């Protein structure tokens, strides 16, 4: 098959050559074969006949010896065979068939063990030719001769023949090849020409070319056919070109139409994409809005089943979306007590949406029963029975609102207390002032003295009540100065002991460090008293109250742990008891105003709130640590001031009250107080210019600016308050001296109720000796 394929692929030229050569080879082979066979047979025959002749001759020559039994002679005769090289063995047999004589060529190792066949004959074997002949004498067989000839010569001749034939064949084939190489051109040249032309045409696509091969043979016929075909192709090409052109025009037309349609389609598609995209974005947007409003929102079916819930709603209810969506009715989360109200609302809404507001307050309850105040805003999604409900947790707002209310309440109480205190102090000033004057002027033996003293002590109690009111409203004036906390504690130790009673042991422990704070010692004392009272109430069966002082540092770790504080050095005062203690809930609210665990009437609910207020006013912190059953510990941090203790103002030994002849402008709207003050001061030699309100005070000062040495200004006055008066006085006469009088702190003159350092003031109710002393002190500056 491969040969066939190969033969198909070779050029015709080669094919022709091959054909010639193969034909020649075949003819030669056939001839040679016949020749060889003939020669073989001839040679064989001649060899056989030659050998037979030899056998006959030798037989003949041996006949006498055979007849007369002369073996020696016979053997001698046989030696004549040595002249024939092919013969390797010969033997004569006598009539009895015994070997009579032998001849062996040297090197031959066969023997005469040869079963003599009867008669004549030969055997042409592969390697040897054997001949046996009867020896005849006068028509009588007297024995047999047997001759063996090898075939070396024969084969040598065969080889020679073969070589000779091969040589002839090679020469003949070569000759045939040369000849056919020349002769094939006659056939192949026109074909090659045609082929080349065909190649040129198929390459250039030029169908105008023609072949010039002529002749009446097949090649010529092929050439004519080829030319005709080219003619046809050329014509067809031209037609095709025309068709093609027309088709192209048509296609162009159609393409344009198609492009148009395509463009329209594209526009439509992109429009649709745009719409879809917008829709998707819108959907996304609303989903994001729904998810991220920060308000718990749900979409509910008409039957109140939750369709969608957002993360905030999950948080609110403490349930995952998969637990909610499609499974729960949202009324499940409404507090039992509020469901009726809610259902009523929704019924109303269904009847007439305009009749009810869009939202309402309600209370939810999570699975642990924790309640939350919420505002539920409901809107019906148009075209569906669904509603969207936003549940806004206002629990914290509610609480803040309550706190604000509380704060407002406090503020109101403060305002009330301040207002009352102002007028009350003025009244008390008159009472105490005139009382004091009365005491001064009364004879010691005067029987009414006891009444006056009673009046005085009652007035003093009234004054204390005013102070208390001012304290919890944080409106009281404090006069801080650098003091050592240890000394404050020591000062109040006795009072505390008396307060806590004998059942409770007081243990104090003071640090030797510098514990100077900038504080109002009276206020701090009140703090201690309030806390001690609290401790006492916590230890109804007795116990131990411990007060310790130490230096402390508030660092970042502390701030982190307590969520408040400013880093820095502080003075720490710790009050701890081993009483009943309190729960966490209680301790968390302990500083809230009016929060009390005590029975009604036993406490005001203000004690610890006052503590908190005072410490705050001092820029300090107070915290509580308590455990029910083990006791309570309060820690008070006050900023360390580091200022030297004011040399324990040499307690002015009860000295003579000194007067003077200076001129004092007394600005006081309250007539009683003004009269009392005027009288008191005039008694001690001072000249008094009175002013009844702020404007009057300024006018008086302007008129008498050179005469006035000191202005005593009431803080709260009609028309112009004390602060304004003071500022105007200062602008007229910068070195003017002034003392303010006040019953409580108004923001007019100070911040946070603390006086500026160069401002002097006297608290109402005015105590005569303290008043005179202050006046003298300021005048002497």
Partner 1 sequence: MVKKKRKIFFIALFFLFASLSASIFSVCGEEKTVSEYEVKAAFLYNFVKFIDWPDGSQGEGKGVVNVCMFGSGPIDSELAKLKDKVVKGMRFVVKYTRSTEEFRGCHMLFVCNSEKGRLREALKAVKRKGILTVGDTEGFAQKGVIINFYLEDKKIRFEINLDAAREARFSISSQLLRLARIVKDE
Site for partner 1, rule CB under 8 A: 61, 63-65, 67-70, 73, 95, 119, 137-138, 140-141
Question: Any bridge partners for residue 664, and if so which?
Answer: 688, 710
The pairing of strands 543-554 and 504-509 is: parallel
Burial of residue 228 (CB within 10 Å: 0-12, 13-18, 19+) is: exposed
C-beta separation of 231 from 209 below 8 A: no
Closest CB 58 distance from partner 1, rounded Å: 12
Closest CB to partner 1 among residues 135, 673: 135
Q: Which residues contact 101 (CB under 8 A, 6 or more apart)?
A: 62, 65, 71, 74, 75, 77, 78, 91, 92
DSSP conformation class of 751: B
Minimal CA–CA distance to 373: which of 389, 352, 397?
Answer: 397
Closest CB to partner 1 among residues 73, 301: 73
Closest CB 64 distance from partner 1, rounded Å: 3
C-beta separation of 103 from 79 below 8 A: yes
Closest CB 138 distance from partner 1, rounded Å: 5
Distances (CA, A) of 600 to 221, 350, 355: 141, 49, 46
Closest CB to partner 1 among residues 135, 741: 135
Closest CB 65 distance from partner 1, rounded Å: 6
Closest CB 132 distance from partner 1, rounded Å: 15
Closest CB to partner 1 among residues 140, 153: 140
Closest CB 90 distance from partner 1, rounded Å: 18
Closest CB to partner 1 among residues 64, 462: 64
Phi, psi of 79 (to 5 degrees): -60, -20
Closest CB to partner 1 among residues 95, 346: 95
Closest CB to partner 1 among residues 109, 138: 138
Q: State how far the Cα of 632 lies from the Cα of 583, in Å rounded to an integer.
A: 10
Question: Any bridge partners for residue 104, and if so which?
Answer: 89
Question: Any bridge partners for residue 760, and if so which?
Answer: 739
Minimal CA–CA distance to 478: which of 513, 445, 420, 518?
Answer: 518
DSSP conformation class of 381: P
DSSP conformation class of 139: T
Closest CB 137 distance from partner 1, rounded Å: 6
Closest CB to partner 1 among residues 136, 455: 136
Q: State how far the Cα of 9 lies from the Cα of 429, in Å rounded to an integer.
A: 144
What torsion do the CA atoms of 438, 440, 444, 449 make, to the nearest 10 degrees? Answer: 30
Query: Within 293-369, where are the H helices?
Result: 311-317, 321-324, 336-351
Q: State how far the Cα of 12 lies from the Cα of 15, in Å rounded to an integer.
A: 5
Place of tokens 């409900």: 389
Closest CB 61 distance from partner 1, rounded Å: 7
Closest CB to partner 1 among residues 6, 68: 68
Closest CB to partner 1 among residues 61, 697: 61
Distances (CA, A) of 474 to 183, 326, 752: 141, 57, 9
Closest CB to partner 1 among residues 134, 635: 134
Closest CB 144 distance from partner 1, rounded Å: 12
Closest CB 68 distance from partner 1, rounded Å: 5
Half-sphere exposure of 335 (CA within 13 A, CB side): 15
Closest CB 78 distance from partner 1, rounded Å: 13
Q: State how far the Cα of 402 lies from the Cα of 396, in Å rounded to an integer.
A: 10
């Amino acid at each position: 098959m491969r040969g066939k394929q190969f033969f198909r692929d070779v050029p015709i030229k080669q094919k022709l050559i091959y054909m010639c050569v193969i034909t020649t080879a075949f003819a030669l082979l056939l001839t040679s074969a016949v020749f060889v066979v003939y020669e073989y047979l001839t040679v064989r025959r001649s060899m056989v006949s030659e050998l037979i002749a030899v056998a006959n001759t030798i037989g003949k020559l041996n006949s006498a010896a055979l007849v007369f039994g002369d073996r020696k002679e016979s053997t001698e005769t046989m030696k004549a065979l040595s002249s024939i090289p092919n013969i390797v063995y010969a033997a004569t047999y006598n009539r009895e068939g015994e070997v009579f004589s032998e001849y062996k060529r040297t090197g031959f190792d066969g023997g005469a063990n040869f079963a003599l066949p009867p008669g004549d004959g030969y055997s042409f074997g592969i390697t040897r030719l054997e001949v046996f002949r009867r020896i005849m004498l006068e028509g009588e067989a007297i024995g047999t001769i047997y001759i063996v000839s090898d075939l070396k010569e024969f084969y040598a001749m065969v080889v020679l023949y073969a070589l000779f034939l091969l040589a002839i064949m090679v020469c003949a084939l070569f000759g045939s090849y040369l000849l056919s190489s020349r002769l094939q051109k006659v056939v192949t040249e026109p074909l090659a020409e045609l082929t080349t032309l065909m190649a040129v045409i198929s390459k250039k696509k030029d169908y105008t070319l023609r072949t010039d091969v002529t002749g009446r043979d097949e090649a010529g016929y092929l050439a004519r056919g080829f030319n005709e075909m080219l003619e046809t192709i050329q014509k067809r090409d031209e037609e095709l070109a025309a068709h093609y052109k027309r088709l192209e025009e048509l296609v162009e037309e159609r393409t344009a139409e198609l492009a148009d349609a395509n463009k329209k389609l594209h526009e439509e598609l992109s429009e649709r994409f745009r719409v879809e995209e917008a829709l998707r974005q819108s959907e996304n947007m609303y989903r994001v809005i729904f998810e991220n409003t920060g308000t718990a929102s749900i979409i509910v079916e008409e039957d109140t089943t939750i369709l969608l819930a957002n993360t905030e709603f999950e948080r609110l209810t403490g349930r995952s979306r998969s637990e909610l969506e499609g499974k729960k009715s949202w009324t499940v989360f409404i507090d039992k007590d509020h469901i009726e109200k809610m259902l009523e609302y929704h019924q109303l809404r269904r009847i007439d949406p305009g009749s009810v507001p869009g939202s309402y307050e309600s209370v939810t309850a999570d699975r642990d029963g924790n309640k939350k105040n919420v505002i539920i805003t409901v809107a019906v999604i148009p075209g569906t029975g669904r509603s969207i409900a936003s549940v806004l947790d206002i629990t914290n707002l509610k609480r803040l609102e309550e706190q604000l209310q509380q704060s407002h309440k406090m503020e109101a109480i403060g305002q009330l207390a301040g207002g009352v205190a102002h007028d009350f102090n003025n009244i008390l000033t008159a009472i105490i002032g005139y009382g004091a004057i009365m005491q001064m002027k009364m004879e010691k033996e005067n029987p009414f003295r006891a009444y006056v003293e009673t009046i005085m002590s009652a007035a003093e109690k009234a004054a204390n009540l005013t102070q208390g009111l001012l304290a919890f409203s944080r409106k009281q004036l404090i006069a801080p100065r650098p003091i050592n906390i240890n000394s404050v504690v020591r000062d109040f130790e006795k009072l505390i002991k008396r307060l806590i009673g004998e059942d409770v042991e007081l243990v104090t422990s003071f640090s030797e460090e510098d514990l100077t704070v900038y504080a109002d010692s009276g206020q701090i004392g009140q703090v201690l008293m309030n806390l001690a009272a609290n401790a006492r109430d916590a230890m109804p069966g007795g116990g131990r109250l411990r007060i310790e002082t130490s230096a402390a540092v508030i660092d970042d770790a502390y701030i982190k742990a307590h969520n408040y504080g400013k880093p820095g050095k502080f003075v720490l005062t710790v009050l701890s008891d081993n009483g009943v203690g309190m729960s966490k809930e209680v301790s968390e609210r302990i500083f809230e105003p009016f929060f009390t665990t005590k029975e009604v009437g036993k406490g005001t609910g203000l004690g610890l709130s006052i503590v908190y207020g005072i410490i705050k006013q001092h820029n300090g912190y107070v915290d509580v640590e308590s455990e029910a059953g083990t006791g309570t510990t309060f820690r008070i941090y006050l900023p360390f001031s580091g200022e030297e203790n004011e040399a324990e103002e040499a307690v002015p030994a009860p000295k003579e009250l000194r007067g003077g002849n200076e001129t004092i402008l007394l600005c006081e709207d309250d007539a009683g107080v003004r009269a009392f003050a005027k009288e008191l001061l005039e008694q001690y030699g001072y000249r008094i210019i009175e002013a009844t309100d702020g404007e009057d005070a300024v006018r008086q000062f302007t008129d008498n600016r050179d005469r006035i040495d000191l202005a005593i200004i009431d803080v709260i006055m009609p028309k112009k308050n004390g602060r304004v008066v003071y500022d105007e006085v200062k602008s007229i006469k910068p070195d003017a001296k002034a003392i303010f009088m006040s019953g409580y702190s108004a923001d007019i003159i100070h911040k946070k109720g603390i006086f500026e350092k160069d401002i002097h003031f006297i608290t109402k109710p005015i105590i005569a000796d303290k008043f005179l002393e202050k006046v003298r002190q300021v005048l002497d500056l």
